[in-house]
Amino acid sequence: MPELPSVEIFKQYFDSTSLNQNIKKVVVNNPEILVETSKKNIKTIVESEFFVSSSRYGKYLFVSVSNDFLLAFHFGMTGFFKYSSLKEGQTPHSRISFIFKNGNTLNFEDPRKFGKLSLIENINNFIEKKKLGPDALEINQKNFIKIFEGRKGYIKTLLMNQNFLAGIGNLYADEILYQSGIHPLIKANRLKIEDLVVLYNNMHMVLQKAIKIKDIMLDFPENFLLPHRYPGGECAEYGKLDIIKVGGRTTYYCPEKQVLKD
């Protein structure tokens, strides 16, 4: 599932291809991806308008339309944008397409159809309704430490809980914990303040690195976990990785580096 770095990259792609172009037509191939709106409503509100700007919060991308409405994209497991030329047009996995006056098209691609699109009027109300926690790249260190105070849940489960902290999923939770030398099954209330400071700094480092390299796993440095995150994989520093389940999610960690404290 696309995590915060992927959505930030989608934002950059959207901004570089699709802003300030008159939208001639909206083609909704799969109305089931629409949430609390309809094919007719989307077409009525978006056609003949243009996209003004975009912003990201957690795993959501918000797109401002020139009439002050907003589109909220969630990319599910396999969603992404593809900007196509007039000749290319739509593709087999285009769930909704925005056809610009110049003939080029922005396609919301999603092979597995788990992505969602909402039409909203206010981002803050949307965030509140979804009960999203603070954005992982926007929260400051003081508030990051504060939200973990007294929490008895496993640290990895909390990192992935979108109502607790928005933007981190299974892959990047593993990498952040690996870089921090923290076992995924330690309870949050067992971590010292200095541990949380390390965790916070590595969270920012890992997410920003992922954005910089366009979220390409093989482009991470050798001292990262993700290039070796497969059965039988070994980290560059300490040897073979172990695989466990945490909150029902497959979790990779290095037992030599990430020791579960008593």
What is the set of domains in the chain, with CATH numbers? 4-130 (3.20.190.10), 141-253 (1.10.8.50)
Q: In this predicted model, what pLDDT tens digit does every residue of 114-170 receive, in sequence order?
A: 999 999 999 999 999 999 999 999 999 999 999 998 899 999 999 999 999 999 999
- C-alpha to C-alpha distance for 28 and 42, rounded to whole angstroms: 9
How confident is the model at residue 258, as a pLDDT?
96
Residue 17 reports pLDDT greater than 90: yes
User: Can you tell me the mean pLDDT for 50-70?
Assistant: 98
Show the tokens assigned to 77.
Answer: 């497991």
How confident is the model at residue 86, as a pLDDT?
75
Show the tokens assigned to 63.
Answer: 């797109």
How confident is the model at residue 236, as a pLDDT?
81
User: Can you tell me the mean pLDDT for 249-256?
Assistant: 97
Phi and psi angles of residue 98, each rounded to the nearest 5 degrees, phi first = -110, 110
Q: In this predicted model, what pLDDT tens digit does every residue of 178-206 receive, in sequence order?
A: 999 999 999 999 999 999 999 999 999 99
How confident is the model at residue 102, as a pLDDT?
93
How confident is the model at residue 237, as a pLDDT?
82
> Which residues share a beta bridge with 117?
34, 73
Range scoring the smallest mean pLDDT among 48-57, 67-76, 78-87, 189-198? 78-87
How confident is the model at residue 1, as a pLDDT?
75
Number of alpha carbons in the 13 Å side-chain half-sphere of residue 2: 30
How confident is the model at residue 89, as a pLDDT?
64
How confident is the model at residue 176, as a pLDDT?
98
- C-alpha to C-alpha distance for 55 and 69, rounded to whole angstroms: 13
Q: In this predicted model, what pLDDT tens digit does every residue of 94-119 receive, in sequence order?
A: 999 999 999 999 999 999 999 999 99
How confident is the model at residue 124, as a pLDDT?
97
How many percent of the chain have pLDDT more than 90? 91
**Mean pLDDT, rounded, of the chain:** 95
Range scoring the smallest mean pLDDT among 143-147, 218-222, 233-237, 252-256? 233-237
End-to-end Cα spacing for the chain: 33
Torsion sign (Cα): 127, 128, 133, 137: positive
Q: Which of 26, 105, 117 is nearest to 63 (CA)?
A: 117
